[in-house]
């Protein structure tokens, strides 16, 4: 690992000053679950690390009108433990609790995950499935515009994620087929019925970047949020990831399986609420 400078600002104003003087090779450090590992492997060698851990305004979970707002530096484990999350969008509790292992959940953050935008990460499916809004220190991004490609986002150099705003849906569920070693999603699907009744089906792990399955959404709009609404429907293999973890054909199959599993979870939650 190459030598680097380390800074830990106490607020966003100090962070901006550090970024203005640190140069192009500075990297922001959130939970470090990806960045530190890549530095150890020699795949990343920043000259400066600027930790976000000392900025209190980037952490926490709050309710604003009909939405949950989660600070970018909030660890996955805090989301799992949050009664506000569990009471309003329990699918986020499920998703966060299935990320990695307990150590990863305690250190990894929602902001770090979406800024890194690993194609197999879980959080992008939740953001796209719930039509979330990413707030930075400069502007707001809709989830549909934020994730632009494999490990790529709409963030400009030096732009800092402050929080994510999740509109509370009528209901939602997440299901994934995890890699047995990393627990990353080979395929993960977030299904939601928006406050206006609009169905959204967001898929992660299957392609280079999270995407919506429009054909499944149309079926749910016409036939209701039932697993059998997808009978006879399959996702094409074209454009899907094909690697040592799963072929494109297997991922196409898993998209259907995980979507149906998420719909089954929705039905079970509805029955439990009756």
pLDDT in tens, 18-75: 988 887 788 888 888 888 888 888 777 777 888 899 999 999 999 998 899 999 999 9
> What's the whole-model pTM score?
0.94
Number of separate domains in the chain: 2
Residues 113 and 195 occupy one common structural domain: yes
Q: Which residue range is the domain that position 237 belongs to?
A: 59-273
pLDDT digits (tens, 9 = 90+) for 139-196: 999 999 999 999 999 999 889 999 999 999 999 999 999 999 999 999 999 999 999 9
CATH number for the domain harbouring residue 106: 3.30.465.10
Torsion region of 168: left, alpha or beta (phi above 0 gives left; psi -120 to 50 gives alpha) = beta
Residues 150 and 235 grouped into a single domain = yes
What gap in Å lies between CA 205 and CA 210, rounded to an integer?
Answer: 7
Q: Same domain for 193 and 260?
A: yes
Alpha helices in 58-98 (DSSP H): 76-81, 83-88, 90-97
Contact 142, 114 (CB under 8 A): no
pLDDT digits (tens, 9 = 90+) for 200-225: 999 999 999 999 999 999 999 999 99
73 and 27 fall within a common domain: no
- Give the whole-number percent of the chain exceeding pLDDT 90: 80
Compute and round to an integer the Cα radius of gyration of the chain.
19
């Amino acid at each position: 690992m190459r030598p680097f400078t380390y800074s830990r600002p106490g607020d966003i104003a100090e962070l901006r000053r550090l970024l203005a003087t640190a140069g192009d090779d500075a990297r922001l450090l959130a939970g470090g679950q990806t960045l530190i590992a890549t530095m150890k492997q020699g795949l990343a060698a920043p000259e400066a690390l600027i930790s976000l851990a000392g900025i209190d305004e980037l952490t926490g979970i709050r309710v604003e009108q009909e939405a949950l707002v989660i600070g970018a530096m909030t660890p996955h484990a805090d989301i799992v433990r949050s009664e506000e999350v569990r009471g309003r969008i329990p699918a986020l509790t499920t998703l966060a609790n299935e990320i990695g292992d307990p150590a990863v959940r305690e250190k990894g953050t929602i902001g770090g995950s979406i800024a890194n935008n690993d194609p197999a990460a879980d959080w992008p499916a939740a953001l796209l499935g719930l039509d979330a809004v990413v707030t930075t220190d400069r502007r707001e991004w809709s989830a549909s515009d934020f994730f632009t490609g494999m490990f790529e986002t709409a963030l400009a150099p030096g732009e800092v994620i402050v929080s994510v705003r999740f509109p509370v849906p009528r209901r939602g569920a997440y299901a994934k087929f995890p890699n047995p070693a990393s627990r990353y999603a080979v395929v993960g699907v977030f299904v939601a019925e928006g406050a206006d009744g609009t169905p959204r089906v967001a898929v992660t792990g299957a392609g280079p970047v999270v995407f919506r399955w429009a054909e499944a959404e149309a079926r749910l709009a016409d036939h209701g949020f039932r697993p059998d609404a997808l009978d006879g429907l399959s996702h094409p293999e074209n454009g899907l990831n094909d690697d040592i973890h799963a072929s494109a054909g297997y991922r196409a199959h898993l998209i259907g399986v995980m979507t149906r599993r998420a719909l089954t979870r929705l039905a079970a939650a509805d029955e439990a609420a009756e």
